[in-house]
Chain A
Amino acid sequence: MDALASLIHGLAIATQPMNMLYALIGVLLGTAVGVLPGIGPALTVALLLPITFKLDPAGSLIMFAGIYYGGMYGGSTTSILINTPGESASMVTTLEGNKMAKAGRGGPALATAAIGSFVAGTLATLGIVFLAPWLVNVAVNFGPEDYFALMCVAFITVSATFGDSPVRGLTSLCIGLTLGLVGIDKLTGQARLAFGVPDLLDGIEVTTLAVGLFALGEALYVASRRHLVEEKLEPVRGALWMTKADWSRSWKPWLRGTMFGFPIGALPAGGAEIPTFLSYSTEKRLTKHPEEFGHGAIEGVAGPEAANNASAAGTLVPLLTLGLPTSATAAMMLAGFQQYGLNPGPLLFAERPDLVWGLIASLFIANVMLLVLNLPLVGLWVRLLAIPQSWLYAGILVFATMGTIAAKPSVVELSMLAGFGVMGFLMRRFGYPIAPVVVGLILGPVAEAQLRRALQISLGDPMVLLQSPMSATLLGIALLALIAPFALNGMSRFKASED
């Protein structure tokens, strides 16, 4: 097979000592920035661009890819340990991961995240090798109406599965959708709900909202209940490592997460968040231990973590084959290519096969490195949980605030962080799920823009939503997901009623 021969050639390039070193630097940096909320891989690559200018193209691109993959790994660590998502794509991981950590199962949670990321990253990189040309055609034909339908599926599954009741989930989602309206409207350029504050014109930063709701809200909540219940945290209960049961409950979510992450990541407006939402919802429906969801179910960590890593690989498909950057980090990598006078796109594979295949091969190597790097750290990380609660939460507050300031040094941003912290506290206090708020903020503006684009292109004809086979199918799934829980009410399990 042609691709295989090229890949082997690429491996030879990637395993050169210097390139291995660049990959190592990349994954180390990536893991570090992934851990810090607010500072993402995109910013890191941007800061490194002027420095790497003098390096050879293959080396620095390999390093950038390492940062990208490393960021996806690092984000899960803080999500699990201190309920602070490092990136928006690891937000879902907090839901079950942090509950597991509190129950003394932080070790297995970190392990399933690391191994799941490895499995997904490796499978998805294989996907780049063999499926890229085919997938890119599908991606290009995915029109605005299809995106809108995909968002509908995400909205409905998310509000139905995150939290105790669909009504509470929908309430939270609507708060998020409202927050999503803030800022300049993408299609007409009008400012909405900005109240004349220039900082609000670009909308609300997802990490600010997520860190405020999750980390600050949690810290406030714990502080408020200090005198009522003395919550005893056990750093380790049972095995530090994954048990046999953990393995057998993890491998299917890994694979399913990859199936969500890779293709959606490859869509030009797909992103890394939607697959994690879909993966979580799916695992919650399919699990044999529904009672554990919300209290630390390992499936809820394994699936979304696999999904976000697979989507990172998926992003490289349109980048390498079309020169289409589909995430902030991919856009920075594109700038990296252009820095060397290279234009990713259909010609790149023909013009610089050594570079492209070297990069792809180095992804495999970065994956192995990340696994080797992260697994031994599990034992060290869980010891963080042995820190007395008051210290730990004070530390979280400092950490969360610093991350936000580092990303955007402004008073308005900090005030928003504090405001969202209070909101997160109140929502916890009254039993509303917080994840749908963030989902609403991320997907709301995208769904709105895509729907309006679809209607603008069809000259106002709403039938376009049903005429596209992809859109019609997805809307059908959304409808089923909405009706199924009511139709099957009373049955304890409604497995396989959709998808």
Chain B
Amino acid sequence: MSLLSRGICRGLLVAGATLLATSAFAQMEIKVIAPAAPGGGWDQTARSIQQALIAEKLVKNAQVINIAGAGGTVGLAQFVNGAKGDGNQLMVNGFVMVGAILMNKSPVSLSQITPIARITEETQVMVVPANSPIKTAKDLAELVKKDVAKVTFAGGSAGGVDHIMAALFVGAAGADASKVNYVAFSGGGESLAAILGGKVTAGISGYGEYEGQIKAGKLRAIGVTSPQRLPNADVPTFKELSIDLVLTNWRSVFGAPGISDAQKKTLAELVDKLVKSNSWKDILKQKGWDDAYLPGEPFAKFLADEQTRVGNVMKTVGLVK
């Protein structure tokens, strides 16, 4: 069945592609690798890229390939070994993969593939149930300072962005980050239930995921991790409460290992056209992702900084020895 739907899919894509080729990549058949199962953030990013590339007629054809497993490191390994020199492939990854590589002692690393650009980011939010005595992030910081072990944080998988944020918060509050009591749940659904049911002190997630609950008054957002306040959300940043916690769950695209400079330039131009297109902007608005386009050298430097920071946090909380 899936073959059939894929066939239909491809048929539609080819039909939608333009015949009037003008740019270097108009005849390209791009493969977008999502190193995750269908449905997650990377998959959605890959499918959005596909959707925008087709809608803007930037390429002849675009296809999403899912290679799930181990925080994306299975997909990364396949990409490193199987796509060498292939200038028609793009891989979606991001913050979570930086941690997963360290945690899974992955034999391959991000330095083996070709960085193209950071494209989106999502702000993280800290929430408490509406009936919690904790009113502000300051209150929570006080509690953490008093007895760090008694404050439980619920969020996604161990070593992911939620976990790292919990550790950074505890550290910023002046407590011992290695003692953070982080309860990992599989997926936002389960952790949301634990937070609403008052089983844990606070919850951590991407802002978009809990937006509905926050607006409905079931959850109280006590802080966001963006440097400035989010538009249309009356939630203070940690920074303005003088808690030193700035972090975003960014996503990026990489090219295959060992591609030529010309191939790299073509991909960079393609991504540049993509992120500046109206179709892409519509998608960002719809998904609640922020535009965080950062191409070329600055991205490479940003990546190196994040790798150091994530590595340090993971050592502190004992995820990496």
Contacts and interface: CB of A to CB of B under 8 A. Distances in A.
Nearest to B159: A189
Interface string A250-291: 000000000000000000110000000000000000000000
A132 to B, nearest CB: 15
A140 B193 contact: yes
A348 B44 CA distance: 22
B276 interface: no
B300 to A, nearest CB: 26
A32 interface: yes
Contact of A198 (B8, B69, B287): B69
B199 interface: yes
A345 B212 contact: yes
Contacts of B43: 46
B133 to A, nearest CB: 17
B294 interface: no
Interface stretch (B150-158, B232-240, B254-262): B150-158
A46 B39 contact: yes
B9 A322 contact: no
Nearest to A328: B39
A456 B2 CA distance: 41
Contacts of A48: 5
Interface stretch (A336-344, A368-376, A416-424, A486-494): A336-344
A46 B216 contact: no
A347 B212 contact: yes
Contact of B9 (A47, A144, A201): A47
Interface of B is mostly: helix
Contacts of B73: 198, 201
A332 B215 contact: no
Contact of A201 (B2, B104, B158, B213): B104
A324 interface: yes
Interface in B109-165: 149-150, 152, 157-159
Interface in A405-458: 406, 408, 449, 453, 456-457
A185 B158 contact: yes
Contacts of A346: 212-213, 216, 218
A331 B187 contact: yes
Contact of B158 (A46, A188, A322): A188
Nearest to A188: B158
A86 to B, nearest CB: 11
B190 interface: yes
A188 B184 CA distance: 8
Given A48-B5, A191-B104, A318 B69 contact: no
Nearest to B218: A346
Interface residues of A, number: 62
B50 interface: yes
B12 interface: yes
A43 B215 contact: no
Contact of B286 (A50, A191, A339, A344): A339
B38 A46 contact: yes
A309 interface: no
Nearest to A347: B216
B269 to A, nearest CB: 24
Contacts of A324: 189-190, 192-193
Contacts of A42: 38-39
A226 interface: no
A328 B37 CA distance: 10
Contacts of B103: 189
A459 B212 contact: no
A335 B50 CA distance: 16
Interface residues of B, number: 56
A149 to B, nearest CB: 15
A343 B212 contact: yes
Interface string A295-327: 000000000000000000000001000111110
Given A51-B12, A184-B70, A198-B73, A338 B287 contact: yes
Interface in A122-163: 139-144
A457 B199 contact: yes
Nearest to B44: A335
B20 interface: no
Nearest to B12: A51
Contacts of B224: none
B239 to A, nearest CB: 27
A199 interface: yes
Contacts of A326: 189-190
B68 interface: yes
Contacts of A366: none
B247 to A, nearest CB: 18
A231 interface: no
A348 B213 CA distance: 11
With most chain B CB atoms within 10 A of its CB, the pick from A140, A332, A340, A459 is A140
Interface string B65-79: 000111101100100
B180 to A, nearest CB: 11
B194 interface: yes
Given A53-B51, A198-B77, A338-B286, 16 more contacts: A48-B5, A139-B193, A143-B194, A188-B319, A189-B103, A189-B184, A201-B70, A202-B68, A202-B70, A318-B189, A322-B213, A323-B192, A324-B189, A343-B211, A449-B186, A457-B200
10 contacts: A29-B1, A36-B1, A44-B5, A47-B38, A184-B70, A184-B104, A191-B104, A268-B192, A269-B190, A346-B213
Interface of B: 1-3, 5-6, 8-9, 12, 38-39, 43-44, 47, 50-51, 68-71, 73-74, 77, 103-106, 149-150, 152, 157-159, 181, 183-187, 189-190, 192-194, 196-197, 199-200, 211-213, 215-216, 218, 286-287, 319
**6 shortest A-B CB distances, which residue pairs?**
A46-B38, A345-B212, A201-B70, A189-B158, A343-B212, A346-B216
